[in-house]
Structure 1
Amino acid sequence: MSGKLFVCPTPIGNLEDITLRVLRVLREADLIAAEDTRHTRKLLSHFQIHTPLWSYHQYSHPERKEELLRQLREGRRVALVTDAGTPGLSDPGAELIRSALEEGLSVEVLPGPSAVVTALVASGLDTRRFVFEGFLPREGYRKRLELLRLEDRTIVLFEAPHRLLRTLEELARYLGEERRVAVARELTKVHEEIFRGTLSEAREYFKAHPPRGEITLVLEGAAAQTEAAAEEEVLAEVQRLLAEGKTKRAAVKAAARRCGWTARAVYSLVLKRTTSP
């Protein structure tokens, strides 16, 4: 009887974020496949878990994956963990999960911490549609940026602190300096920081405050930027008509006709802007 691969999210910073279910699975597993056994051993020690640890990372020999699959075929329970967050996102766990599924082996994914979702929700940007790009590739870097320039969904990226400034500069060059961004650093940790502003403002801020720790970038999509530009165009038209002496009601109706909006939508936009702090 085949075993089961348990995909176990671990805290991205705060140890209190681990779930009771993950702790139970880690205790009951026959072995734990970890991206960095030294890092995971600290986590297990904190919760007094003594399950055997196997290393499994991007530099592991292919035989290690095959050995883990053999353990599953022989009925053992294998818990897969990454250094932080949910395995399978920008780490080698994805390959083991895929191979297990292709063989028809049982895979159970547990819910838990994720820097992608945490940063996305904290960004204040549109969460209805988004795309996760992981780390930008070393090869084909600029080609990927050209594609991101046209991406209309909110974009989530990972970046290392020593490459952040260069990445912000390249993003500003391809996506525009006024594209809004949230830079989330050290999420859930004591020194958590979330910078929100434009790419230009982010670049200046991190020039003065060199970043440290894990970083997640959240960028507004092209559609959001286009929508914002359209709003500014409508507001400018309303202001122009008011300056000509029209009443607010007449200016709203005329702006709506000229810009292809409904009068109610224009009025709501004007009201929102005039009541905003």
Structure 2
Amino acid sequence: MAGKLYLCATPIGNLEDMSLRAINTLKGVDFIAAEDTRRTGMLLKHFSIESKLIQYHKFNERKQVDNIIELLDQGKDVALVSDAGTPGISDPGEILVRAVNGKGHKVVPIPGPCALICALTISGLDTSEFKFIGFMPKGNSKKPVLEKAMSEHCTVVFYQSPHDLLSTLEQIEKIDNQRKVVAVREITKIYEEKIAGNAKELISHFNERGIKGEFTILIEAKEEEIHTISQGIVLVEELLEQGQFLKEACKNAAKELNLGQRDLYQFMINKGKK
């Protein structure tokens, strides 16, 4: 019988967040694949877990994927853990899961802590729809990422290193100095903190208090512009002057202004456009 791959969530700060199922799973598997075996080793020691550790990180992932699949082929069970939180979210686990699924082996989630979900639920921002964009890049690639993120009509969440936090907040302020931003740091730890305000207010806060810990940043959704049917008619007439046929012009205008194509077309017909 083939082995199974378990995606085992581990605490992101508070050891009491380790679930009984996670402990029993890690005790029961043949191998535990970890990003940092020293860090994971301390966790395993705390819970008296003796399963064998193997390294799996972004520098050896290609080779280790083949090795882990071979272990599964042999009927060995393997648990994957990240340094903290749920594996497979912005870490090498994604590649392993895709490969294991491709080989037909079963992947079993062992739920638990996840920084982005914890931050989202306490943010006070809209949780009905959100977009997670991983780790914020540094340097020149940051600006286009933030511009795209801040054009989204839903809450945007990303991970941020402390060393580049002010640079990110300064860029957010340039794009929209009124947009609400929430910074959550050290989730589940002693100095857990949530700071909300516009980018300028957060910059002032961190300049005064200092910057420590790992951050999850959330940006308020961009408000949807509400367009009227009158604006739609104006755009349709402009498109007609450019040579588009009526149906095509109504379709394009409706799409651009988020209006009903049928309603717009009917208005144009009533105006006598043909």
Residues 19-42 of structure 1: CA deviation (Å, up to 9, x unaligned): 110100000000000011111011
Q: Quick one: distance in 1 between partners of 2:2 and 2:64? A: 18
Q: How does 1:1-277 map to 2 (within 5 A)?
A: 1-60=1-60, 62-138=62-138, 140-174=141-175, 176-223=176-223
CA distance in 1 between counterparts of 2:4 and 2:110 reads 12
Q: Deviations over 1:66-101 (max 9, x none)?
A: 101111111110000001110011110111011101
The alignment-based identity, stated in percent, is 43
**Corresponding residue SS for 1:179:** coil
Q: Which amino acid aligns with 1:155?
A: V
Partner amino acid, structure 2, of 1:150: S
Q: Which amino acid aligns with 1:142?
A: K
Using the size of structure 2 for normalisation, the TM-score is: 0.79
- Cα distance in 2, alignment partners of residues 15 and 100 from structure 1: 29
Q: Deviations over 1:104-161 (max 9, x none)?
A: 1110011110101100011111111001011123463322222112101101110111
> CA 1:6–1:61 in structure 2 vs 1: closer, same or farther (change >3 Å)?
closer
CA offsets per residue over residues 169-188 of structure 1, 9 Å max, x none? 112212x1111111001000
Count of residue pairs the alignment pairs up: 225
Unaligned runs of 5+ in 1: 228-277
Which residue of structure 1 aligns with residue 260 of structure 2?
Answer: none
TM-score (norm. length: structure 1): 0.78
- CA distance, structure 2, for counterparts of residue 188 and residue 100 of structure 1: 32
What RMSD, in angstroms, separates the aligned Cα atoms of the two structures? 1.4
| SS of match in other structure, 2:150 | helix
| Aligned partner of residue 119 in structure 1, secondary structure | helix
Between stretches 137-146 and 29-38, larger displacement belongs to: 137-146
| Cα offsets for 1:196-239 (capped at 9, x unmatched) | 11111111111112211111001111027x79xxxxxxxxxxxx
Amino acid in the other structure paired with 1:146: E
Partner Cα distance (1:47, 1:74) in 2: 27
